[in-house]
Structure 1
Amino acid sequence: MSSLFEPYDLGPIRLKNRFVMSPMERSRARNPDWAPDAETARYFSQRAGAGLIVTGSIAISAWARTWAFEPGLYTQTQIDAWRQVTREVHDHGGVIFGQLRHGGRASHVSHQPNRQSTVSATDKAAGKAISMAFDASGQPAFLWQGKPRALRTEEVSQIVGEFAQAARNAREGGLDGIEIHGANGYLHDQFINGALNDRDDRYGGSIENRIRFTLESIDAVVDAIGADRIGIRLSPYGRYNEMPAFDDEAETYLTLAAELSKRGIVYVHFSDQTRWADDVSIPTTYLREFRNAFRGTVIVAGGYLKENGQAAIDTGEADLIGIGKPFLANPDLVERLRNDWPLNAWDEDTFYTAGPKGYTDYATREQR
C-alpha cells in the first residue's frame, strides 16, 4: 500500500512525496509591475519539502485580475521575476506549478483597465460576494463584486489565447507546469455552471457547450506546453462566489472529466468545499465516479492532513493530497507530519498583508 511519504511520478516529474501545497492567495505582489519578489521566492523555497507546490492564483492578463496584489504572468518583467522564484525553489529541491486564473465576474472594476466592467458568461451579478480590491482612495479593501457584462463570443477565444500565452510564459519563467483555475466561481466555473450560464451561443445551453470554453483552454495550453505539464482545479458542488446548484451538475463534471482524460492532462485538483462551507454537500460515491471518468492523477484538497489523507490514498479516492493553511504556517510540514510533531497555528490577520510577518517568519521545528 502506498504511503503519503513515498515518491510519486507525476507525468515526467518525480515528486519526493504525495503532499501538495495547495494554491493560496497571499497578496504579496505589492509593486507597480504586479510581480513576485524576493520574499515570494523565499516563501515558496521554504516549503520545497512538499512533493508539489501550486502557487496562488496568477493573472493571465490585465483584465483577468481578480484580487488585490495578485501577481501576473503577462509581461516580461513578471516572467523574469517568476524565474527568480522558481530558481530558488529548484535550488531547494522543489517542484512548482503556477495556477493560472481569469476571475471573470468574481473581481472588481478597480482591477480592470480603465475601470471597465468585469466580464463573465452572463451579465448576472453575484450580489453578496466580495473581492479584495481598491477603494476610491486607492487603498486595499474588501468590496462587493459588481455587475459584469457577458463576454461576446469572439472574446472567449481571445481569453483562450491568453491562457496559452500565460502557459508559455510560465515555462519561460521556470515553472514546472501550470494549473488552470477552473474552480471556486472563477471564469471557467461561470461557464460550466448550468444555472448561471444563460448564453444562447455555442458556449451556453447544453453540457457540451458549457464545458467548451474549458476544453478549448485546455487544448490551447496542451498545444503550447504539452499535456504532461498541465493540471486543472475543479470544484463540483462548490458554492464559493455564489455559484448556484444546477440540475445536471453531476453529469456535467463527469462529462468534463472524461473529456479531460482523453486529452491526457497530468492531473485534476479536486477542491472539496464541504469542510469550510455549510451549504455544500457532495454525494458519497461522487469522487469515485469522477475517478472512474478521469484516468490521470487526482489531487484532493479540503481539510486533509496525515490520517484522512492516507485514507484517501488507501481507498483509491486520490493519488496526491492537497493541503493549504497548515503549509502556510509550517514550512517543514511534511517532516512535522512524518514525525507527528506539533504544528504551528496560522495567523489569519496576515493572510493578505505586506511584509514577512505571517509569510516567511513561521519557524521550522529546528528553529524553535
Structure 2
Amino acid sequence: MNHETLFSPARLGAIEVANRVAMAPLTRSRADTDGVQTPLAVTYYGQRASAGLIIAEATNISRQGRGYAYTPGIYTDAHVAAWKPVTDAVHEAGGKIVLQLWHVGRMSHASLQANGAAPVAPSAIQAGGNVFTEQGFLPPSTPRALATDEIPGLIEDYRHAAQRAKDAGFDGIEVHAANGYLLEQFLRDSTNHRDDRYGGPIENRARLILEVVEAVAGVWGADRVGLRLSPLSTAIGDTPLDSSPMQTHIYLARRLGELGIAYLHVVEGQLHGDKDAGDFDFQALRTAFGGAYIANNGYDRPTALEATASGRADMVAFGKAFIGNPDLVARLRQNRPLFDAPASAYFGGGAEGYTEFSLQKAA
C-alpha cells in the first residue's frame, strides 16, 4: 500500500483537493448574537487552509434552524458579508472550503427562536440532552410537528441558504443530515411518527433529505454538494437509532448516488465515542453510494494512512486535532506530535483557544 495516498490530490465531484485530509465541521460558537461571523473567523479558517477540504462549521439556514447561541447563519446579507472574507482567506492560501447547511429541528430552545416560538420537528417528541443558550445550557424545548404544507417553505430555506453560500464564495456545500438534527430526525423512525408522505416507510422518511439535495443542487450542481450522515450516533439529543439502520441508510445512499452528489461524509460509530459498528457495514454503505467517501470519527495518523492507502476512504476528516493544530496536514506528513487543545476553549470566547493558544508548547 502507498502510505502517501493521504497526502495526494483527489477529486470530490467538481471539487479538486490538494490532499485527502479534511477539516471536519466544528461548532466553535464565536459568531455574534445575530449569527454574524467576526473577523476572528477569517484568521481561524485561513490558518487551516492547508487542509485538502475545509468543511466549515454547521451554519443555520434560517432563524428557525438555530439551536445554539453564537452559531453562524447564512441567510442574511450581513451573514454573507461576514463569510466572504473567510472564503477569500482560504482561497488566497490555496485551500478549498464548503459550508455545512444546518437546521437543528427539535434540538433548540424557545429562547433561540423568533418570538419565543417552539422549535419544529417531524413529530412533537422532545429531545434529551442540553442546548447552549445565552442563559447557559438548558434542556431543549418541546417541539411542534411541522405541517405538511410547511415543508416546501423549509426546502426553500435550504435553497436560499445554498444561494447565499454561493454568494459568499464557498466552493460547495454540505447538507447536514446527521447528529440528531432535523433531516436525521425525519430519516429515523424513532423520531418520525408522521402519517403523511414524509413518514412511515423508508422511502417517505428519506424524501425530505432527497428533496433538499435536489433543491440545493439546483443552485450549485450536484457535483458541488456533499452530505453528512451518522447512522449509529445517538449522542446529541439522546436520539434513538432507526429500527433498521442498515436498510434505511443503504436506500438513502443509493438514491444520493443516483443524484450524483460530490461526496458522502460519514460519522462511523458513535459521535465523539466508540467506533464499534456492530453489524453495520460502512463499506456496503459506500458501495451503495458509489461516489467519493469521507470517513470520520476518531481517526489518527496510522488509521488515516491505512484507510486512504487501502481505498476504504477517499478522504479522512479530522475534527478536534484541527483545533489546536492549524498546521495539521504538515504535522501528519512529518509525523510530528500534536497539541491537545483544552476543551475549555472549544465553545465561545475570543482568540484564546481559537486562533491562538498561550499555553501551546512548540512541537
Asked if these proteins are the same fold (TM beyond 0.5), I'd say: yes
Q: What is the deviation of 1:271?
A: 1.1
CA distance in 2, matches of 1:185, 1:167: 21
Task: Indicate the residue corresponding to 2:20 in structure 1.
Answer: 18
Q: What is the deviation of 1:216?
A: 0.4
Question: Are 2:246 and 1:250 aligned?
Answer: yes
Match of 2:157 among 158, 162, 184: 162
CA distance in 2, matches of 1:353, 1:249: 34
| Contact 1:331-1:362 within 8 A present in 2 as well | no
CA distance in 2, matches of 1:159, 1:209: 16
CA distance in 1, matches of 2:272, 2:62: 30
CA distance in 2, matches of 1:50, 1:253: 28
Q: What is the deviation of 1:204?
A: 0.3
After superposition, where does 1:77-156 map in structure 2 within 5 Å? 77-126=78-127, 128-135=128-135, 141-156=136-151
- Output the amino acid matched with 2:230: S
Question: What is the TM-score when the length of structure 1 is the normalising length?
Answer: 0.94
Q: What is the deviation of 1:281?
A: 4.3
Q: What is the deviation of 1:90?
A: 0.7
Deviation digits for residues 312-354 of structure 1 (CA, Å, limit 9, x no counterpart): 2233321100000001110101101111111111111111122
CA distance in 1, matches of 2:81, 2:307: 38
Structure 1 runs of 4+ aligned residues shifted over 6 Å read 365-368
- How large is the Cα RMSD of the aligned pairs? 1.8
Q: What is the deviation of 1:107?
A: 1.1
1:158–1:283 Cα change, 3 Å: same
- Output the amino acid matched with 1:170: A
Report % sequence identity: 39
Q: What is the deviation of 1:190?
A: 0.3
Give the total of aligned pairs. 360
**Secondary structure of 1:220's match?**
helix
Deviation digits for residues 27-58 of structure 1 (CA, Å, limit 9, x no counterpart): 0102x542112100100000001000011110
Question: Are 2:285 and 1:290 aligned?
Answer: yes
Unmatched runs of 5 consecutive residues or more in structure 2: none
Deviates more, 1:8-17 or 1:82-91: 8-17
Unmatched runs of 5 consecutive residues or more in structure 1: 136-140
**Secondary structure of 2:5's match?**
coil
Task: Indicate the residue corresponding to 2:258 in structure 1.
Answer: 262
Task: Indicate the residue corresponding to 2:58 in structure 1.
Answer: 57
CA distance in 2, matches of 1:163, 1:86: 20
| Contact 2:34-2:70 within 8 A present in 1 as well | no
- Output the amino acid matched with 1:96: I
Q: What is the deviation of 1:63?
A: 0.7
CA distance in 1, matches of 2:129, 2:200: 25
| Contact 2:231-2:269 within 8 A present in 1 as well | no
- Output the amino acid matched with 2:239: M
Match of 1:220 among 212, 215, 218: 215
1:76–1:257 Cα change, 3 Å: same
Task: Indicate the residue corresponding to 1:138 in structure 2.
Answer: none
Match of 2:270 among 257, 270, 274: 274
Question: Are 2:303 and 1:317 aligned?
Answer: no
Question: What is the TM-score when the length of structure 2 is the normalising length?
Answer: 0.95
Match of 1:176 among 171, 176, 181: 171
CA distance in 1, matches of 2:48, 2:158: 27
**Secondary structure of 1:321's match?**
strand
- Output the amino acid matched with 1:342: P
**Secondary structure of 1:64's match?**
coil
| Contact 1:120-1:190 within 8 A present in 2 as well | yes
- Output the amino acid matched with 1:246: D
Deviation digits for residues 213-255 of structure 1 (CA, Å, limit 9, x no counterpart): 0000001011121111100110011112222123222100000
Task: Indicate the residue corresponding to 1:69 in structure 2.
Answer: 70
- Output the amino acid matched with 2:8: E
- Output the amino acid matched with 2:99: G
1:366–1:276 Cα change, 3 Å: closer
| Contact 2:250-2:285 within 8 A present in 1 as well | yes
Match of 1:211 among 191, 196, 206: 206
